[in-house]
Copies of this chain bind each other. A is one copy, B any other.
Amino acid sequence: MDDVFSVKYKKPPRKYANGFMFEVRVADRTGDITVKFWGPADEASVRRIYDAFRDGDVVRIKGQATTYRDVMEISVNAESGGLVRPVQSSEYSYGDFVGSSEKDPNQMMTQLNSHIEKIENPHLQRLLSSFFSDEGFVDKFKRAPASISIHANWIGGLLEHTLNVTDICDFLTKTYPKLDKDLLLAGAILHDIGKVIEYSVTTNIDESTDGMLRGHIVAGAEMITGACENIPDFPENLKLKMAHMILSHHGKPEQGSPKKPQFPEAAVVNLADDMDAQIEQYIRVKGEAQTDDQWAYSKRLGLIYLG
């Protein structure tokens, strides 16, 4: 095995029978794996190799695939030509580690902006502007994935998902004219903005400390309330409703939402969010299947019929 990987984290060198060894957790597009580097008794030389790269770097690894305690890992033996060394950014492309949306981000952003322009409520207009007129925010929003591993886990995935959810909500206002269109669109567009904070995207997609300790739902709701409080005369009531739509968009506590949807528009955002995530997964599992069998297996969806 001789391939390049992105470094997720590493554990410092320690002694073993024949010298010093260390562990590195690395990833490529297909997942994570642990690498064990078995070095000689010369501690300084092992430490040099260990110090030569950091989290987020890309390294070339030459070693053997083995298993330990029932989990696969890569064993790198320094004496028999094994290698763990950083690689120049010229030697790989980001696409080796993190995928990108198949759609053009600028075009998607344009479509999302056309939804934003439809909103007539001046408070909500100002709320959306506070985010989407901020170039720094828009840059991050366009890069962010929709998840680490479940759906739309690629650069641009958040934008792609947000656009789909907003399209669906926009359509539903025709079928159900009693829905408050402005509130619904604002909720759809902003429902996942916490993911800008939750995920960190370098050579791999990872969850930030903030994402782990608070999560995108709470972080997103706080971004909303913070922004509302900075807008003069923003109605208290509307602020709470916007925050509630973010907090409840996973539908129930077991799925991470501290509140269940408590008004129609909150329910619609939850349903449209789930709908896009589910359909995207079904289509992807079916599309990626490479088999002469009529069934493809997905850990989350079970067996999918290809016939």
| 6 pairs of A and B residues whose beta carbons are closest in the complex | A9-B293, A264-B282, A213-B244, A70-B72, A213-B240, A11-B291
Which residues from 244 to 296 on chain A have a C-beta closer than 8 Å to any C-beta of chain B? 244, 247, 253-264, 267-268, 271-272, 274-276, 278-280, 282-283, 286-287, 290-295
Q: Could you say which residues of chain B place their CB within 8 Å of the CB of A179? A: 279, 283
Is the C-beta of A299 less than 8 angstroms from some C-beta in chain B? Answer: no
CB contact between A302 and one of B247, B260, B292 (< 8 Å): that residue: B260
- Each complex incorporates copies of this chain amounting to 6
Is the CB–CB distance between B271 and A212 below 8 Å?
no
With CB as the reference atom, state the residue of chain B lying closest to A178: B283
Q: 7 A–B contact pairs at CB < 8 A?
A: A12-B292, A70-B72, A176-B279, A209-B240, A209-B307, A253-B255, A263-B305
With CB as the reference atom, state the residue of chain B lying closest to A238: B307
Is the C-beta of A241 less than 8 angstroms from some C-beta in chain B? Answer: yes
Is the CB–CB distance between B69 and A305 below 8 Å?
no
Is the C-beta of A175 less than 8 angstroms from some C-beta in chain B? Answer: yes
Is the CB–CB distance between A247 and B290 below 8 Å?
no
Question: Which stretch, A36-44, A131-139, A146-154, A216-224, touches the partner chain B?
Answer: A216-224
With CB as the reference atom, state the residue of chain B lying closest to A244: B213
CB contact between A214 and one of B9, B168, B244 (< 8 Å): that residue: B244
Q: Could you say which residues of chain B place their CB within 8 Å of the CB of A287? A: 178
Is the C-beta of A164 less than 8 angstroms from some C-beta in chain B? Answer: yes
Is the CB–CB distance between A305 and B70 below 8 Å?
no
Q: Could you say which residues of chain B place their CB within 8 Å of the CB of A12? A: 290, 292
